[in-house]
Structure 1
Amino acid sequence: MIRTGIAALVLGLCTLLGPAQRCAAQAADEDAQPAPPAAARDAEPAARQLLVMLRLPPRHFRPDSAYGSGYGGDGTRAARRRLAEELAGAHGLKLVNAWPMPAIGVDCFVMEEAGGVPVERALAELARDPRVLWVQPVSQYEGLDGGDPLYAVQPAGRDWQLAALHRASTGRRVPVAVIDSGVDSAHPDLLGQVALRENFVDTGPDAAEAHGTAVAGIIAARSGNGVGIAGIAPDARLMALRACWERPHAPVRCNSFTLGRAINYALLHGARVINLSLSGPPDRLLQSLLDAALARGIAVVGAADPRRADGGFPASHPGVISVAAAGTGAAPGALHAPGADIPTCMPGARWALVNGSSFAAAHVSGLAALLVELRPALTPAGLRSRLSEAGAGVAAFSLNTRQEPGQQAERTGSIDACAVIGRAAGACVCPCPSTVAITAEKAP
């Protein structure tokens, strides 16, 4: 009976999404994903790698395009590389990669155990070297997927009254950086939505991958195009920054270096919202880059890990908007958003249902883009405050639903999207009690 019911639900979803397109007959958990290329599988950083930071001279701390993508006309680059090679040789390491990060004034070098010296010993010795700004291990991060729900609904369309929100804001021209695995920019629901893309996973070519495509679809899938779903912010401009890679039968994987390069790029290329649907250990390089992003007025949204008391990093980092899937336990202070039974885009002109706080975070990144369009001067703290203060409005559930308030919160989370957008727009945008009495407010 269970299998029959699932088959019926999948058939219903395929019918809903259109007979002309192929529909994924499975939920988007990692078990259902195709195996990535061999190069991407080999991209996992070994425990024998570490990151060594050398200081960039102040005169190179400028946001030009050369630094966003690699080394440009930097006259001191050769000297820093010689120093890095000298340090590597002195500590039984070999230099395997490097990337300047002018957003935080460092040149980051990846070194790897080569001469039999334990990496822990090299780490300790390099930390005492006055020529080194700091040294750290290469941390690893994973996307936060979960389960295999098969219900053909788009919760934000029903419970956030997405069509009504789009009458007030669509996230027009707001740059949103999706730092994740590869995005399928040729997907029918994402055609024209990706303004730029970069691949920071050097060991594998850019690819269309499930996790990144699913996150991108929730944030900015095209609206009204006759197929698939509507994104939360369908007129946002996506920056598809591939810093993670997919593995067979396992969550997506990223590391400090790939994520650092992608965040640095987002800072230097005008992102207003950064989505990080992943979790791992605290990391000094990434903490520095996130602080720089927040100082520049860039909102950072992180997926809260329900397995960690503090929600995990980067969700737990001060200033980051931590988001968990509605109905799940999460760290104090985390917002809750739809994160179960979410239809979204999959590579190869397909759609599937996904589940997890990765996708709850994508909802909030889209909502942040709607707010930024309406209130461009909002700071990250101000944006977080608006999302939080509307949480009390969740009891004032929509007139078009018969659920009790508690059931509504269990499904949709702690954000009353109608109230959030209505207050920013200074007008009632939904036919619901939570926004009827809204009056115009002063900017921002």
Structure 2
Amino acid sequence: MLQVNYIRENREKVLERLSVRNFKQPELVAQIISIDEERRQTQTSLDNISAEANAAAKQIGELMRSGKKDEAEAIKAQTSTHKENIKTLTEKLNDLETNQHNLVVQLPNLPHHLVKTGATPEENEVVLTHGEPAQLPIEAKPHWELAAKYDIIDFELGVKITGAGFPVYKGKGARLQRALINFFLDHATAAGYKEMQVPHMVNAASGFGTGQLPDKEGQMYHSTVDDLYLIPTAEVPVTNLYRDVILKEEELPIKNTAYTPCFRREAGSYGAHVRGLNRLHQFDKVEVVQIAHPDQSYEILEGMSAYVQSLLQELGLHYRVLRLCGGDMGFTAAMTYDMEVWSAAQQRWLEVSSVSNFETYQSNRLKLRFKGKEGKTQLAHTLNGSALALPRIVASILENYQTENGIVIPEVLRKYTGFDIID
């Protein structure tokens, strides 16, 4: 959530950065500033009347104690409207603050100056490409056919139990899934991230804190009886560990990682590109989250991008890194790098990770602050990334490591799987 004082003091810059996103409601900025002006005037009036009321009450008390009852009653009569005026102004102030809040939460984060203007994924910037496409057999198959051939993932069984988008992993497929989770967690620990186990359901305050609510409400599974939400990513509970917390500057950066299942309704998703593991309602993911000093957050973002790339390199996958354009970035992000792995069987790129810096957008909602060495309290920066999301990594391994004799397991995973090939 943007800070209102920043919007007021940097109106033109805010509008310019929102245009990078192709934001369709720039008039919200004028409305927010107008309401803020009225809110500040109302607050001043309320403060003045409250001060007058307090002074009068003190004066009346002194007169009564000195026996000057008539003078006290005269002052009381003159100030009889103070209580009603304070009530009226308080109600008006509350209404203005609510209206302002409801408008501010509709504004997305402002893109970093390196983020380019754009509206579609085709306008994203390719930062680098690593490796070469796998050389596959002539009769190479997409992962959903491989899953059926080797009986390692059953999509139809998941449909029977729950519905589309809830696959069942079987045998070596389940062990490959577990191997990847352990591989990712072990590497995160070695990179200095503290492993956390967190709830898989969160309350509305947590969803609001990281920006899923109200923006993505329709994409989250909601348990209405208890008013709880199934998490779309571990980012939500892990970042909310620090909601309403004031950290010490020397504690920064804080680095946490967590494995969780993730749940997304993916409303409106259809077509060939969502087949198999390409897009699911339930999937596993290892997330890395950092709480950082504002002066260090973009250096940390580059480090997190490099860390995710190191995982892809160890798995021997051909990938590229994109810096997302303004219109393709998530609502809460100031800058995002996407990592995409090339699927030689599908002949297209598959997104396997997003690494984002949210600057103070989340921390303002979370009231996540730190106290500097000079004693000043300020908002921290938050960052997170997938390290990694499993479905498309599994799909990429199945497709890119297929041979005529079976699917070869990347060497770095073999100590986790206990087998070298799926045949």
Whose relative contact order is higher, 1 or 2, with alpha carbons under 8 Å and at least 6 apart? 2
TM-score normalised to structure 1 length: 0.27
From the CA coordinates, give the structure whose radius of gyration is larger.
2
| More helix per residue | 2
